[in-house]
């Protein structure tokens, strides 16, 4: 934007700028109603420049132009997204048709070929042409990128304009400025929804609702709209309970509004005939609003059903996951305990079959104990001497006894005469 206006701008110049901007804003609003969004964007942009130059970029006189410029940019971004989606779909269909046509052309060409030389020449020429076309296309794309290196998206620019309008409106304490600030918060939230920044969208919608609840009647349709937008944001953010709660609040506001309008219609039509009401009659306007609300309510109720279904599916998925994990855990625990206990059980079962090998010291001690036991029992080992065994002693004693017996028992011999 241009440099903010200073004291050098005379009151006359400012008044002229204001008149010009008001006329441009009016044209832009008409174009928005008619669906001429690109024209409206250009007109609101021009109004912003005129007012910023006359009053300064942050002057309250610029807030309205900023707001409508941001809103039109948001609408333009949405429109371009839809057009781009349709264009991409058409391009895919065109590519498929082109491939079929190329296939048919190739078959016809094969039938009409007269020689391999001519075919190779045509192929080479086509390859060169395709390469040249691709090179020129790449150069054109690079040139476009170089031409506009500082371009920003329409959504980003819309957010900046709406943010600037919000800041200006919040400076004033009158009801109108507060409600315009709330509306700026609402549009900022819509921009965040488009960029899938759901947490920021929820924050902006809540700020809008806070102002509206303080300044509006409980049955005002603006409250219903904000509740509806909050329901969308919570739903996209997987907060299904909060989404359902906001949708129900929107329905509650709309039903209260309908009851109020119906009461007004009943009171206004009492005593009147069946003559058609004029177009600007408030009773007719109330009837039309009741009809509009009745058409909107089914859509919100279907949103609640969608959220309840989504919540149910998520809860079932969580329950199934928990059951699966619990079953897997219960199957793993017995297997682990069995594997760890089997080796210990096997070792304890064969412990009585294994004889431990004795050490040399233990063997000597065992032999000494055996000898001591034999001595106490009176075994032959007790008479053993170092220079002989028990058997040798017994044999010598037997021999001497025999000799004595022989000496004593030998008869006298006869003496010869």
- pLDDT, tens digit, 9 for 90 and up, residues 151-164: 789 999 999 999 99
pTM more than 0.85: no
Distance spanning both ends of the chain, measured CA to CA: 185
- Distance, in Å, from the CA atom of 282 to the CA atom of 342, rounded to the nearest integer, reads 90
Measure the CA angle with vertex 138, ends 137 and 140; round to 5°.
Answer: 65
* pLDDT for the residue 254: 96
Residue 145 has a pLDDT of: 44
- The residue ranking higher by pLDDT, 220 or 95, is 220
Per-residue confidence (pLDDT) for residue 315, from 0 to 100:
87
411 phi/psi in degrees, rounded to 5? -70, 150
pLDDT for the residue 91? 54
pLDDT of residue 139: 55
- Residue 127, pLDDT > 70, answer no
pLDDT at 408: 46
Helices (H), 237-281: 240-269
- Taking residues 309-334, report their average pLDDT: 84
Name 388's bridge partners.
385
Give the per-residue pLDDT at 281: 82
pLDDT given at position 279: 66
Helix (H) or strand (E) holding 164: helix 154-170
Q: Phi and psi dihedrals of 385, rounded to 5?
A: -115, 165
Whether the CB-CB separation of 50 and 24 falls below 8 Å is answered with yes
Q: Which residue has the higher pLDDT, 372 or 214?
A: 214
Q: Please, what's the b/e burial string for 58-86 (b: 16 or more CB within 10 A of its CB; e: otherwise)? A: eeebbbbbbbbbbbbbbbbbeebeeeeee
Query: Does the pLDDT of residue 181 top 50, yes or no?
Result: yes
Q: How confident is the model at residue 221 (pLDDT cuts 50, 70, 90)?
A: very high
CA distances from 51 to 5, 158, 377 (A): 9, 18, 133
- Range of weakest confidence among 34-48, 57-71, 195-209, 393-407: 393-407
Token pair recorded at residue 62: 């610029």
For residue range 131-146, what is the model confidence (pLDDT) as tens digits? 555 555 555 555 444 4
Residue 213: what pLDDT?
Answer: 96
Whether the Cβ atoms of residue 282 and residue 236 lie closer than 8 Å to each other: no
- The Cβ of residue 110 has, within 10 Å, a number of other Cβ atoms equal to 9
- 340-357 pLDDT, tens digit each: 444 444 444 545 544 555
Comparing C-alpha atoms, which of 239, 254, 242, 238 is closest to residue 300? 254
Question: For residue 149, which phi and psi values (nearest 5 degrees)?
Answer: -75, -25
Mean residue pLDDT across the chain: 77
Q: What is the mean pLDDT of residues 232-258?
A: 96
In this model, does residue 113 exceed pLDDT 60?
no
For residue 71, the number of C-alpha atoms closer than 13 Å in the C-beta half-sphere is 24
207 touches 192 (CB < 8 A): no
Contacts of 155 (CB under 8 A, 6+ apart): 73, 74, 77, 191, 194, 195
Q: CA 189 → CA 2, 259, 375, distances in Å? A: 28, 30, 111
Residue closest to 257 by CA, chosen among 304, 291, 208, 218: 218
Q: Please state the rounded mean pLDDT for residues 25-41.
A: 95
Compute the half-sphere exposure of residue 48: CA atoms within 13 Å on the CB side of its CA.
Answer: 24
Q: How confident is the model at residue 252 (pLDDT cuts 50, 70, 90)?
A: very high
How many angstroms separate the Cα of 87 from the Cα of each of 79, 138, 144? 12, 21, 20
| CA proximity to 252, closest of 300, 204, 289 | 300
- Closest by Cα among 191, 137, 138 to 161: 191
Residue with the larger pLDDT of the pair 287 and 125: 287
Of 294 and 131, more confident: 294
State yes or no: pLDDT of 285 exceeds 80: yes
Q: What pLDDT does 365 receive?
A: 64
pLDDT, position 368: 66
Domains of the chain: 1-80+154-176 (1.25.40.10), 216-269+282-314 (1.20.58)
Q: What is the mean pLDDT of residues 21-35?
A: 95
pLDDT of residue 134: 57
Secondary structure letter of residue 389 according to DSSP: -
Which residues, at least 6 apart from 284, have a Cβ–Cβ distance to it below 8 Å? Answer: 277, 278
Output the pLDDT for position 269.
Answer: 75
**Confidence category of residue 82, pLDDT binned at 50, 70, 90:** confident
Cα separation, 204 vs 163, in Å, equals 11
User: What are the helix (H) ranges across 11-115?
Assistant: 11-33, 37-55, 63-112
């Amino acid at each position: 934007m241009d440099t903010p206006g200073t004291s050098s701008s005379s009151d006359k110049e400012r008044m002229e700028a204001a008149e010009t901007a008001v006329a441009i804003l009016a044209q832009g609003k008409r174009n928005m109603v008619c669906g001429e969004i690109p024209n409206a964007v250009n007109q609101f942009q021009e109004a912003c420049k005129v007012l910023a130059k006359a009053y300064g970029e942050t002057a309250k006189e610029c807030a309205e132009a900023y707001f409508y410029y941001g809103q039109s940019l948001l609408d333009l971004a949405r429109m371009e997204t839809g057009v781009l989606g349709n264009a991409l779909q058409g391009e895919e269909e065109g590519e498929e048709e082109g491939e079929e046509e190329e296939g048919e052309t190739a078959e016809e060409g094969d039938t009409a070929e007269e020689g391999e030389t001519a075919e190779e020449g045509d192929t080479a020429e086509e390859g060169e042409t395709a390469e040249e076309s691709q090179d020129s296309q790449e150069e054109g794309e690079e040139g476009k990128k170089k031409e506009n290196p500082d371009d920003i998206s329409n959504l980003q620019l819309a957010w900046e304009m709406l943010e600037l309008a919000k800041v200006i409106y919040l400076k004033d304490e009158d009801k109108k400025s507060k409600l315009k600030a709330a509306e700026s918060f609402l549009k900022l939230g819509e921009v965040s929804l488009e960029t899938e920044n759901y947490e920021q969208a929820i924050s902006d919608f809540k700020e809008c609702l806070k102002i509206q609840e303080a300044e509006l009647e409980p049955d005002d349709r603006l409250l219903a709209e904000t509740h509806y937008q909050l329901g969308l944001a919570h739903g996209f953010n997987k907060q299904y309970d909060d989404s359902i709660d906001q949708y129900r609040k929107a329905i509650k506001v709309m039903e209260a509004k309908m009851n109020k309008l119906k009461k007004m219609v009943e009171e206004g039509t009492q005593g009147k005939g069946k003559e058609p009401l004029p177009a600007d009659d408030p009773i007719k306007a109330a009837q039309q609003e009741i009809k509009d609300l009745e058409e909107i309510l089914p859509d919100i109720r279907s949103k609640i059903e969608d959220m309840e279904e989504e919540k149910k599916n998520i809860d079932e998925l969580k329950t199934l996951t928990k059951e699966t994990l619990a079953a897997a855990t219960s199957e793993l625990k017995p297997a682990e305990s069995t594997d760890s206990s089997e080796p210990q059980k096997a070792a304890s079962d064969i412990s009585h079959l294994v004889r431990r090998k004795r050490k040399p010291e233990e063997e000597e001690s065992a032999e000494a104990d055996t000898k001591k036991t034999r001595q106490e029992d009176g075994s032959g080992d007790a008479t053993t001497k170092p220079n002989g065994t028990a058997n040798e002693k017994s044999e010598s004693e037997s021999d001497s006894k025999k000799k004595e017996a022989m000496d004593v028992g030998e008869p006298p011999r006869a003496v010869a005469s």
